[in-house]
Amino acid sequence: MLISVAGLIAASFSNFHAGMAFHYPHGAFGPGFAAGLGAGLIIGIYDYGGYYTTAYMGDELKNPGRTMPRSIVISIVAMMIFYLAMNIGVLGVIPWHVVGKSSSIASLVFTHTWGGVAADAFTILIVITAFASVFAGLLGGSRVPYHASRDGVFFSAFAHMHPRHGFPSVALLAMGVITAIGTFLPLTTVINVLAAVIVFVQAVAQIVALTVLRRRQPDLPRPYRQWLYPVPSLIALAGWLYVYASAQTLSLELSGAWLAAGVLAFLAWAHHRRAWPFGPRRIREAFLPGRAVNAAAESRVSTHRAE
């Protein structure tokens, strides 16, 4: 991926025209700007999406309170630099209206700058990168049903580990099948559906979970804090809802159907296990308020002893 992106950036800026890159069509910032920005954000968010893969594998990390936030921040900043440089470079070589109609932008840029041989070579690297991104997504995504099953809030079959290689085989197979089904739809539709589902299942849910956790356990020891809380959470919530509203109508319908299927699956599981709403409501947390206070006190004692 690094070779592919670095090569595309280098090729773009080897024949870069600033006037072309920063040329805006008439009415670009008119009434339709917000809708166009939202549509572009959906693709951008998909490209940034790998930053949270480490969060799926948190209990497999050494010192996750330090490693996870650093990996996320570094990933987002690095992706921002690559993404801006790549897109500005492409627009400085290929006119924006040609980019909008092209199905192979990178190949077009290399053909215009370094010739057909370079275009063929880097196209192969891009295909390899695409396969790698799918495998990375499956690696991280398979941990979600696996951990849910292991925690007793999903079907028990998904907790199965491969006896020899130690990966969640059933969860990985299920994610692979779902990914394969997605290949029957246009890529833009798939990206829009994924973004729409992520808004509620992951993004909004995380904001709600953070708020609930801080209210229930205000004394819980935290390895890092959210500055100016709750302002960043509210800004993020508004941004995610804006992205959701910008998705295609078909994508909203498909994402709604997918969310409905998830609700039905949960109800089937809850009925089988006699869990809420078919049984008593149980809230299980790693740190209860009393334990959090004790943990904080123990941490202060340990720090004092170390000094």
10-residue mean pLDDT profile of the chain (307 residues): values are: 92 93 85 85 81 80 86 91 93 89 88 93 91 83 88 86 89 90 83 84 89 86 82 94 86 86 88 88 62 44 37
Q: What is the pLDDT of residue 284?
A: 67
> Cα separation of 128 and 105, whole Å?
16
Q: What is the pLDDT of residue 137?
A: 80
Residue pair 179/134 in contact (Cβ under 8 Å)? The answer is yes
Domain housing 43? 1-23+32-141
Let me know whether 122 and 200 are in one domain.
no
Q: Report if residue 257 sits inside a domain.
A: yes
Angle at 198 between CA 271 and CA 103, to 5 degrees: 135
Residue pair 270/279 in contact (Cβ under 8 Å)? The answer is yes
Let me know whether 6 and 123 are in one domain.
yes
Token pair of 135 as six digits: 């495998």
Mapped onto helix, strand or coil, the DSSP state of residue 44 is helix
Let me know whether 226 and 302 are in one domain.
yes
Rg over alpha carbons for the chain, rounded to the nearest Å, is 23
Mapped onto helix, strand or coil, the DSSP state of residue 117 is helix
Q: What is the pLDDT of residue 288?
A: 52
Let me know whether 233 and 131 are in one domain.
no
The alpha carbon of residue 38 and the mean position of all alpha carbons in its chain are separated, in whole angstroms, by 17
Q: The pTM is what?
A: 0.73
Let me know whether 1 and 133 are in one domain.
yes
Let me know whether 303 and 199 are in one domain.
yes
Q: What is the pLDDT of residue 174?
A: 92
Let me know whether 109 and 235 are in one domain.
no
Q: What is the pLDDT of residue 53?
A: 80
Task: Tell me how crowded residue 209 is: count the other CB atoms within 10 A of its CB.
Answer: 10
**Residue type present at position 117:** V
Q: What is the pLDDT of residue 295?
A: 46
Give me the number of domains the chain comprises. 2
248 half-sphere exposure, CB direction, 13 A CA radius? 14
Let me know whether 16 and 108 are in one domain.
yes
Q: Report if residue 146 sits inside a domain.
A: no
Let me know whether 88 and 202 are in one domain.
no
Last residue of a domain, one of 141, 158, 177: 141
At a CB cut-off of 8 Å and minimum separation 6, what does 142 contact? 167, 168, 171, 172, 174, 175
Let me know whether 133 and 197 are in one domain.
no
Q: Report if residue 148 sits inside a domain.
A: no
Let me know whether 120 and 226 are in one domain.
no
Last residue of a domain, one of 109, 141, 173: 141
Q: Report if residue 163 sits inside a domain.
A: no
Residue pair 148/173 in contact (Cβ under 8 Å)? The answer is no
Let me know whether 3 and 134 are in one domain.
yes
Q: What is the pLDDT of residue 304?
A: 37
